[in-house]
Structure formats: structure tokens, C-alpha cells
Structure 1
Amino acid sequence: MNMPKTLALIHLALLWSRESLTLSDLLRLVNEGHVPYVNAFEELPEEMKLDGKDALIFRVESVPSHRLVQRQAHTLLLFLQLQTFPPISRQSLLHPALLSLRYLADANLPDDLHPWVCRLMDGACLVDFTFDPQSCPVLPRYDMQTAAVIIVTMKLLFGLDDHTEWDLSDESGVQQDSEDMFNLRRWFRLTQAALISAQQKRLHDAARKQWKAKKPLYPSRALKAVVMKRKRTAEQVQMCFEKLSSRPVGVQRCVPSSFIFCWGDEDGADGPSLHHKKLDRVLTLKHNVQTLSNTTYWHTALRVCDPKKCRSHYSEVEATLPRSFVWLLQLFSFLLSVKPPHLYEEVLKVERRVLDRRTLRRTGTTSRAEDTMVT
């Protein structure tokens, strides 16, 4: 057992108990220091002294990635031979129907977008929301799947082809009731400024974080002198850093929160809230039923690759993708602390289930870098 596997075991326990804490939330709590992980041995009682191999287990100087913990959790599933997990219903906060509400609020997207997210999930028959050794042998990634559904919904409504979304924004801006309408251009400007600020803050916090333990571990008594010398050197570097930067090295712990951004009129908010804005300008009324003004949907080739022979193709197609779509991937990747290529693959999985078989057969002969328009 090691520390990454311990995180994976905690993740499995949270899923089994159906707690409203995703893997992204767990890793964020670890990074912010609310869950002891780096130098976790310092929280142990004084009578528990670690040395030898036990000390090496707690010798951690980095936080594992989302993908690594997910992979470790799946390995533990196979090792423990766990049976079907308790079902995740729509009333559960882990279900994408409710989890999407949190992500929409964090991204400052309008509440009117949520019914369309739910309609997309129903139309795609996205019902495999629990682990089952028979029907669903892969551990669901609720956070990434929810973000992928939101991104596909945004593509359906706004196009995200670097043209349609801006045309719709221009049309909504010239209307008399434009103040009540959601404008994608305004949302992009607000969110982009908040995203840049949050990214810089995350980098600064990581640079100032205390990675070395105050109480060093000694793998063996023979190495005690070497460890103490390294500790003194690290302390001297920290003192120099404090003098040069005029600020302490450590990072102040913030109150645990499920949200990255804060939208509203309060002091310290990242910008005004757009949750109450309407989507009327991107919808049309036909036969007393609201339909989308955007009538086309683009996507890259949706062929399923062999995971043993093929890796993510995001780096190959990234230059050909619309910039608005790439930016939206980066936004939700930042919210979940995952890499854009991994979220991109999750978007492709959702699109494969949304589009009908006839469309899949038509796009199966195209290359991955080639975009396909579906009318």
C-alpha cells in the first residue's frame, strides 16, 4: 500500500457511500491541505515513530493526477473483487443531473441551460452511472462525464465553431431586452478574466507551498546526517525567498468550498452573476415547442480506437479545432484539475452516444483531424 493507493481507496469509499464528493473535489482538498497527504506523517501522534520502510511509504512530495488515482481505484476494484456499487439515482448529488447544476454555477452559465443538459442525457441514454462488474465494468468518472455533457450541450446551442456563437451574440446584443439575455461574448470576457486570475493564483500557491516536511523522515540512521543537512539548506533557501518576495513561503489555507469561482455583487467576487440570464435568443418556437436556432453540429471523427495500441489524438487535432471549443475544454479542465486531452476523450464518448448510428457510419471513414457537420 502507498499514498496514491490510499487516495484511491478513499475515492472508492466515497463512491460506495454515495457522498457528494467527486475525485476532483478530493484532489482539490488534498492540494489545499484540508486532507493530509503531503507530509501526512506530521499529523500522527508523537508516540508513533516511523523509520525504515514505513518511513518510505509516507515520503510524498507531489499530489497524484486525476487519471492516476482513477487508474489505481480501478486496480483496487479488481483486486478486492467488489460487487455492484449502490445505484446513483437522479436524487443523488453525484448524478450528472444534479452535479451539472454545480458546474454550471461555477462556470457562471445560465440556469436555463440545465434542462437542455438533462434532455441531452436522456436522449443519449446516459444511464450507466454506477459500477457493475457485468453491465458497467469501468468505474464511472462522474465529474468528467458531467463536464463533457455540458460541453456537448454548449456545442448544440451555440455551435462553438468560431462563427455561429459570435453571430448569436451579436443578434442578442441588438435586442431591446438584451440586458436579460445571455450573451456568450460577455460571458467569455468575464470568465476569461477570472480564469487567468485563478490560474495565476494556483501557480503562485504551488510555488509557495511547503513541500518539505518540518520533521524529516530518516529511512535509516546512517542517512540522518544527510537528511538534516538538506533540511538546513532548504530552510536557508526559504529565508532568502521570504526576504526577496517580502511574503511568507507558506500558503494560507482557505475555507473548503465546492466552487472555484465566486460570482455575484459581493466584495471579492470574480464578476457579476449571469445565472438568471435567459436563452431565448438561441432558441426558436416551433409548434409551441422550443427548438435550437443552431441547426448544425460539428464533430471530429468518432471512431473508437484500441486503447492498447492508440493513445489520445488531441495533440494531433488541437490545431484544427475551433478556438472557442478549445477554450471551453480548458475552462472545465481547470475546474476539474484534469488535462484537456483527457476531457476531450470524454467529450468524444458522449458524442458517440448522442449521434445516431447512421451518422457514425458516415463519419467512420473520415480522419480524426477532419470535422463533420451534422444537420
Structure 2
Amino acid sequence: MKLYGRDKGIFAVESWPDYEDIYKKTIEVATFLDLPRFPDITEDCYLHPNILCLKYLMEVNLPDEMYSLTCQVVKMTGIGEVDFLTFDPIAKMAKTVKYDVQAVALIVVVLKLLFLLDDNLEWSLSSLAEKHNEKNKNDKPWFDFRKWYQVMKKTVDEKKQKWEEARAKYVWKSEKPLYYSSVDKPVAYKKREMVVNLQKQFSTLVDLTPTTEKKKPSSFQFNWIEEDTDRTCFHGHSLQGVLKEKGQSLLTKNSLYWLSTQKFCRSYCKHVTTYEESNFSLSYQFILNLFSFLLRIKASLLHEEVSLIEKKLFKKKYTITKKKSSRSKKVRR
């Protein structure tokens, strides 16, 4: 496709798109075009929460045993159903799912179920895991949340720095120069050639390292190898330190859980719930910021999705709080 004339202004964009804007515009286009129901999203589909959870568990270096727990939450909440996941633009009540955001929100909920993330329990469980691993070095190591936090924080900080540097150095120029008309074509190509030659000359003068070849695109941003001595791989670690057997089933040693929100905004409000970092534990903030960086979204958007999953998972608790609030309103009146 050749671009010139007025089309140049459309494609000469010099800004990074926002996740929410892309999401909204995609839905608007699908609705405007009256597209039929999209192909069913089954358990074999890449967009199914079970598969996406597996991907992101690998991405953030969490134990493989957490996968079965995320699958249980998917089953209990019903968010793995075909009708819930499949987008139908022409339906009267068209439901849309933020697939990746939903998957990482599921992992956040499971982490809260296991470690509570209240800046207290996760560290005490980490101390127990550390002591066990020191005594039983030949056995399968227990998952140590503190050690995982230290490894991930260092890795993410390095990745963020590289990402910010890459964004700052990014040249908003297409590989082929854009021109307004066929008359301007030779001039545009000549200017581009001069710029490239000057850049090469300056790089040799400054003794800069030559630009490396572009890496092949990958859906993974982090690479965890068990043989890597610099960074610990936690994929094979056990959750035995946070789980207990009861008959044939496994239960979490932690019996507590705090809801991300107990009050949702009204229907006319643009957002589901508000998110203020100061109201939440540092561990919870770190988890949200970690996944937000992976998906390049705002932490508040992920917090909303966590709250929605919790609403499905703890229906009774939300209905009780709703009844209490309605009763209190009646008393006030």
C-alpha cells in the first residue's frame, strides 16, 4: 500500500496508544459494522482464561502448582463459559471481556487467597519456607514469596529502565519516507538517505556500538531458565508451605481474605471502583504494578478487574454488605 497526500497525516502518528482507547474503539468498530458473533472461545482457544493464566504464571515466574488454583477460580466464577467469553456485537446486551486483564486479575486473586497480601502474612510464610528450604536442601523447595519478590523487583526495575530508554530513543520515522505527492518522492528519499548517512558517520565518531538486529517478536517479556544462576526460577517450587491436606482435597492455610472493594460505583459512573494506592498494602501494590507493566495498563484498571472477579467469587459476602448498607440507609431516613 502506497501512502502519500492526505493519508500521510493519518499514519504519521507520534504517540503511544492507550489500552483502554484501543479496547473501546475496537468495540465501537465491531458494533458499527454489525459484525456477527465472533468464533466461540473454548478451553482450547488461546484467549481462554485457563491458557492465559498459564502463560502469565510462566511470565512472572510463579509456581506451576498455582495453575490448578486459577482453574478452580475460573470454574467457581463461571468466567470460563463460552457465552461469557465470546463477543457478540449484535446482541442486545453485548458483553465484552478484557481477556489478558482478566487472566492476570485471576492470578492476583489466587495470590490473595494464598498469601493474603496484607504486608504481614506473606512475610511470615516466607520465613517458614526459608527455614524449611535450608533444612531440606535436597527436597523440592517451598515457594518463598520474599525471595520471589526480590528477584522480580530487580528484574522488573531493569526491564522498566530499558523500556523507558527505548521509548525515549524511539525515532518516530517510518522505514520508508512518506511524501505528499509523487513530485516530492525523490526529494523525500534523498533527505532520508542523507540523514541515515549522517547518523552512521556520527556513530563512528562517537564510537557508539552499532545497532543490533531487531529481535523476533515474542509474547513473553521475561525469560526464566532453571539453569540460570543469576536469577532463581520458581516454576518448579512447591506450594506445600501455604496449602494443607484435608481428606483428598487441598486447602489454603490462610483462612482470611480481604476484598479489594466493598462498594462499587453507580451505573452512571465511568469506572467500577476507585483505586488509591495509599489504601492498600505494599505487596498488593507491587503485584498490581508488576502486571500493569506487563500489559502496559493502569493499575486502577487491573484493580477494577480484580474487584469484579471477587464479586463473582464472594457473592454472599457482597449481598450481605449490600443488605447492611440498605438497612443503614433506611435507619438514617
Whether the aligned pair in 1 keeps the contact of 2:262 and 2:318 (CA below 8 Å) is no
- Write the mapping of 1:1-375 to structure 2, written as runs, cut at 5 A: 44=1, 48=2, 50-126=3-79, 127=81, 128-132=84-88, 133-134=90-91, 137-175=94-132, 176-177=135-136, 180-213=141-174, 215-219=176-180, 246-247=208-209, 252-265=213-226, 271-306=231-266, 308-311=268-271, 314-315=274-275, 317-362=276-321
Structure 2: segments with no counterpart, 5+ residues: 326-333
Structure 1 length as normaliser, TM-score? 0.74
Give 1:145 shift.
0.5
C-alpha separation between the residues in 2 aligned to 1:148 and 1:300? 11
Query: Cα gap change, 1:256/1:218 in structure 2, threshold over 3 Å: closer, same or farther?
Result: closer
Whether the aligned pair in 1 keeps the contact of 2:264 and 2:273 (CA below 8 Å) is no
Q: Which amino acid aligns with 1:52?
A: G
Q: Which amino acid aligns with 1:298?
A: W
3-state DSSP class of the match of 2:27? helix
Query: Cα gap change, 1:159/1:363 in structure 2, threshold over 3 Å: closer, same or farther?
Result: farther
C-alpha separation between the residues in 2 aligned to 1:331 and 1:150? 12
Aligned to 1:35: none
Whether the aligned pair in 1 keeps the contact of 2:52 and 2:103 (CA below 8 Å) is yes
Aligned to 1:32: none
Deviations 1:203-229 (A, max 9, x none): 1221222212465434479999xx99x
Whether the aligned pair in 2 keeps the contact of 1:302 and 1:360 (CA below 8 Å) is no
Deviations 1:127-182 (A, max 9, x none): 21111344861322111100001100110111001001111111122223376211
- What is the root-mean-square deviation of aligned Cα atoms in Å? 3.2
Deviations 1:193-246 (A, max 9, x none): 11111111111221222212465434479999xx99x98998779977886683
Q: Which amino acid aligns with 1:324?
A: S
Whether the aligned pair in 2 keeps the contact of 1:56 and 1:219 (CA below 8 Å) is no
3-state DSSP class of the match of 2:258? strand
Structure number with bigger Rg: 2
Q: Which amino acid aligns with 2:74?
A: M
Give 1:51 shift.
3.0
Give 1:311 shift.
3.9
Give 1:106 shift.
0.7
Q: Which amino acid aligns with 2:103?
A: T
Q: Which amino acid aligns with 2:95?
A: V
Give 1:286 shift.
2.0
Q: Which amino acid aligns with 1:309?
A: C
Q: Which amino acid aligns with 2:9?
A: L
Q: Which amino acid aligns with 2:94?
A: P
C-alpha separation between the residues in 1 aligned to 2:142 and 2:92? 43
Aligned sequence identity (%): 30
C-alpha separation between the residues in 2 aligned to 1:270 and 1:70? 38
C-alpha separation between the residues in 1 aligned to 2:38 and 2:208? 51
Whether the aligned pair in 1 keeps the contact of 2:260 and 2:303 (CA below 8 Å) is no
3-state DSSP class of the match of 1:279? coil
C-alpha separation between the residues in 2 aligned to 1:362 and 1:120? 22
Whether the aligned pair in 2 keeps the contact of 1:88 and 1:95 (CA below 8 Å) is yes
3-state DSSP class of the match of 1:305? coil
Structure 2 length as normaliser, TM-score? 0.82
Give 1:344 shift.
1.2
